[in-house]
Amino acid sequence: VYLTKKRVEDDGIFCSCSLSSGSSVTCGKDCQCGMLFSCCSSNCKCENNCANKSFQLRPLFKTKLIKTEKCGFGLIAEEEIKKGEFVIEYVGEVIDDRTCEERLWKMKRQRYTNFYLCEVSSNMVIDATNKGNKSRFINHSCEPNTEMQKWTVDGETRVGIFALRDIQRGEELTYDYKFVQFGADQDCHCGSSNCRKMVGTSKSVNSFILHNGNSTSSQDQHDMKKRKTTSDNCIGEIIRLWDRRDKIYCLMKKLLKILI
């Protein structure tokens, strides 16, 4: 649901894949579009035989929402999922940075403790708090069985969750948040043998502030050492996504109000 920007009307790109002898589908691992993390468009000549239209065709796996012992709600697979398969799309209301910040302040005033916000790119945030699907309940693990990937679909950027390995029926779905934390440490309860014990890749650094997706300059960071920050001024947590070698990494941050 696009609230603050108009949805892009674009047929996207299309490849030159053709049906090979003995195969019932086209656009496999060698598809030019797939290698660019772009789904084939409506102009793709392979039509319904195309295997590179996961977001459009939505091949949904059966999943079940559960209540975990230490991590709130979670999501388990109710059928086997093979490595590399599209599991589910992360969806919600698409908003800009300004709307995102307004919502976070409102959530803080209402004492919300759970946020489902993904910053996909500059000035584009997916808010699954009120409108979303089961993907928002997937928990963190230091040894996950899925990962987030950013794809281009008919000109729009969309986020999908894909299996990193074969997933058995009854297994909980997880991905690695890999966020840099600006605030109090969070204990990790994933139970993995490789558990890092704390959720995040870096320790808290109060002098380094991220605001609306932009890091401060070195001079600003120096000046901030003279300013005061308190945990009471944390207005929420965001999962931030960005490209790096065709993969998606997550940066969970806390927006802080600087007090002079």
Could you write out the three-class secondary structure of the chain? CECCCCCCCCCCCCCCCCCCCCCCCECCCCCHHHHCCECCCCCCCCHHHECCCHHHHCCCCCEEEEECCCCCEEEEECCCECCCCEEEEECCEEECHHHHHHHHHHHHHCCCCCCCEEEEECCEEEECCCCCCHHHHCEECCCCCEEEEEEEECCEEEEEEEECCCECCCCECEECCCCECCCCCCECCCCCCCCCCECCCECCCCCCCEECCEECCHHHHHHHCCCECCHHHEEEEEEEEEEECCEEEEEEEEEECCEC
Local confidence band at 86 (pLDDT 50, 70, 90 cut-offs): very high
pLDDT of residue 40: 86
pLDDT of residue 2: 67
Local confidence band at 107 (pLDDT 50, 70, 90 cut-offs): confident
Q: What are the structural domains, with CATH classification, of the chain?
A: 9-57 (no CATH), 83-165+172-256 (2.170.270.10)
Mind listing the pLDDT tens digit for each residue in 17-59?
Answer: 887 766 778 888 888 888 888 888 877 777 667 888 888 887 7
Q: Please provide residue 252's backbone torsions phi and psi, each rounded to the nearest 5 degrees.
A: -95, 125
pLDDT at position 118 over 90: no
pLDDT of residue 97: 82
Local confidence band at 110 (pLDDT 50, 70, 90 cut-offs): confident
pLDDT at position 142 over 50: yes
Average pLDDT of every residue of the chain: 72
pLDDT at position 171 over 90: yes
Scanning the structure block, which residue is given the tokens 């059928």? Answer: 79
Type of residue numbered 149: Q
Mind listing the pLDDT tens digit for each residue in 172-231?
Answer: 999 887 654 434 456 778 777 888 777 655 443 333 333 333 344 444 444 433 333 444
